[in-house]
Amino acid sequence: MATIVVGVTGGVAAFKAPIVVRECQRAGHDVYVAATQASLDFVGRSTWEGITSRPVVVDIAGEGRAEHVELARIADLIIVVPATANSLAHLAAGFADDMVSLTVLASDAPVVVAPAMHSNMWLAPATQANVRTLRERGVHVIDPTSGALGSGDSGVGRLPEPELIARQALAVLAEHQQASCALAGRRLVVTAGGTREPIDPVRFLGNRSSGRQGLAIASAAAHAGGSVQVIAANIESALLSALPAGVQVTRVGSALQMRDATIAAVARADALVMTAAVADFRPEVASVSKMKKDPTNEDVPTIRLIRNPDILAEIGHSEQRPPLVVGFAAETGTDEEILAYGADKAARKGADFICLNRVGESVGFGDVPNDIRLLDASGRIVGRYVGSKDEVATGLVGHMASFLDSLKR
């Protein structure tokens, strides 16, 4: 049995929402209702309380402001029905001025919205842009159908039949529940961020990696039931604090520190995912004091570099390697060039898969989309994931879970 929150907004189609609640109850689920004040003009409190046998949560003066946190905490699925043009705009913009939008914003449960409105409002560029935004964030939008509208007109914008809404929403719930236990009992180590190799106490050799993709993979693996340890190199504390509860974090700075921490962690792991951008070289000697510019001398200091250990190859070819090893390669160039490099790296590193990550001004590093090709050990492309860091992470974690499952057969 799952806990489902049905959010009802102020459209005339709200009279169909009780059927959605009933269908979810018939499927054996526990249902709570969060309603906007406007929606009560169409379906009143007594109706909701009679159907659910519990108070309906409404955004009215005098009502506590913590209900949305509690509903968000217990929700396994949120269904917004009907979703008016106004509520779609609120959800897309992240507003939180009614109990429905508050609950959605505070929850990490899957969200299904069923829009209903006049045709002109549905087809308006602003509404379509809001729908695209929600879909890009992973919200499941059930398109309205064509037919008679509450205004007396006819056209697209009619709420689909409530039985269909419930059926599609419950399918989303089932898929989410299946994914949420895909890595149950598995231990994963994820390296993330960029190493910094000290030149002196204030300077270092580094790179632009933010660690966002690695943290997204760690989050997706945790949500899939895995036990996750992150080896974090120079990642902002705010990003680390957003990781799911239970994810263990080990902070490191340099490549040598990452090597030691990773080798220690993988001894008990089922999978290693090395997203970290590890420096290939480090200064042979780091100055113990700040290197100062001598105004009387035009010469510049020479910094001699030496190679850092290849952590991925060392673990990939060791007897202690975990059953699954995934490496990352951030590359620039043409498709042919980066694929050739990725195939070469896959052959050399001893990894089961290499994630070939195209990077550039608008792709790859930082809070920008990713474009990843997944290569197997022979260099053959076995998957491609394009989109936000979270979308890419979800795809990769699903592939990893399937691979680990195949090892048990």
Confirm whether residue 328 is marked as ligand binding. yes
Residue 245 CB coordination number (10 Å): 5
In Å, how far from its chain's centre is CA 242?
11
403 is in an annotated binding site: no
Report whether the peptide linkage leading into residue 82 is cis, meaning its omega lies within 30 degrees of zero: yes
Assign 87 to helix, strand or coil.
helix
CA distance 120 to 123: 5
3-state SS, one letter per residue, for 365-379: CCCCCEEEEEEECCC
CB 224 within 8 A of CB 180: yes
Q: Where are the beta strands (DSSP E) in 305-380?
A: 305-307, 324-331, 353-358, 370-376
Q: Which amino acid is at 242?
A: A
Does 59 count as an annotated binding residue?
A: no
Tell how far CA 355 is from the center of its chain. Answer: 17
> CA 329: distance to chain centroid?
21
The answer to whether 352 is annotated as binding is no
The answer to whether 215 touches 236, Cβ cutoff 8 Å, is: no
Please indicate whether residue 207 is annotated as part of the active site: yes
Check the annotation: does 312 bind a ligand. Answer: yes
Burial 23-54 (b: 16+ CB within 10 A, else e): bbeebebebbbbbbebbbebbeeebbeebbee
CB 331 within 8 A of CB 373: no
Q: Is 290 annotated as a binding residue?
A: yes
349 annotated ligand-binding residue: yes
Are the beta carbons of 190 and 275 closer than 8 angstroms? yes
Nearest one of 71, 8, 86 to 45, comparing CA atoms = 8
- Of 86, 120, 130, 207, the catalytic one is 207
Q: What stretches of 113-253 show up as alpha helix (H) in DSSP?
A: 119-123, 125-136, 162-179, 212-223, 237-241
Q: Which residues are annotated as a binding site?
A: 280, 290, 309-312, 328, 345, 349
- Residue positions annotated with a catalytic role: 207
Q: Which residues are annotated as a binding site for CTP?
A: 280, 290, 309-312, 328, 345, 349
